[in-house]
Amino acid sequence: MPTLLIASNNAHKHQELREIFGVLAPALRLVTPREIGLSLDPDESADSYLGNALLKARAFAAAAHGKGLWVIADDSGLEVDALGGRPGLLSARYHRQAPDGDGCAALLTELRGVPMPGRTARFRAVIVLIDPSGAEQAFTGLCEGRIGHGRRGLGGFGFDPVFLVGTGPRMMAELPPAEKNRISHRGLAAAQAVAAMDD
């Protein structure tokens, strides 16, 4: 199996992708930029998930050129229907700019008074895969659900503690990692990437 460079400096994302690929392709070796001596922080300035994922994947692929690596990058966000699809592409910024950096609390405040039928939302992830020759492929994963009226669970990160999965009673943060990674937006997109690598 090839070696796959995770085009991100986010430790949470490193851990989640290692867990996901550990199930989908256990023989695949994943490396982080730091592990191979890369230090860059591409500007995520595109106006779409695909655009941001491409910016990151291409920057790291160029920096790792000649090393024979595959490169994977993703961009993702939470889209809340009652907020017109926000925070969406700006989900990470939403967290950073929230009081005390608590994006979950800020989201619950924005949705105060909205009944459950109106709290539909989804996580969306776009993964870009670049092979050692420079060929690019993109894959999208969606996880539908709702925003709860409070937070529960200690797993995951970001908006996981307030995201009710599907029509069920559990928050994303309450799911065991293996279950989350099987149904999550990132897990679904990663499964497509693994299938493409096997082609």
- Domain extents for the chain? 3-198
Query: Could you tell me the fold of the domain covering 3-198?
Result: Maf protein (3.90.950)
Give 3-state DSSP helix, strand, coil % of the chain, rounded to 5: 45, 25, 35
SS3 per residue for 106-166? HHHHHCCCCCHHHCEEEEEEEEEEECCCCCEEEEEEEEEEEECCCCCCCCCCCCHHHEEEC
pLDDT at 2: 87
Q: pTM here?
A: 0.92
Catalytic option among 47, 75, 81, 160: 75
Instruction: Give the whole-angstrom CA distance, residue 160 versus residue 177.
Output: 12
Taking CA atoms, 129 is separated from 24, 59, 191, in Å, by: 15, 12, 12
Catalytic status, residue 75: yes
Question: What is the distance between the alpha carbons of residues 24 and 76, in angstroms, rounded to a whole number?
Answer: 20
Tokens of 39: 């230090």
- pLDDT tens string, the chain, 199 residues long: the values are 789 999 999 888 898 899 999 989 998 999 999 999 998 988 888 999 999 999 999 999 999 998 999 999 999 999 999 999 999 999 999 999 999 999 999 999 999 999 999 999 999 999 999 999 999 999 999 999 999 999 999 988 899 999 999 998 999 999 998 899 999 999 999 999 999 998 7
Q: What is the CA radius of gyration of the chain?
A: 17
What confidence score (pLDDT) does residue 64 get? 92
pLDDT of residue 157: 86
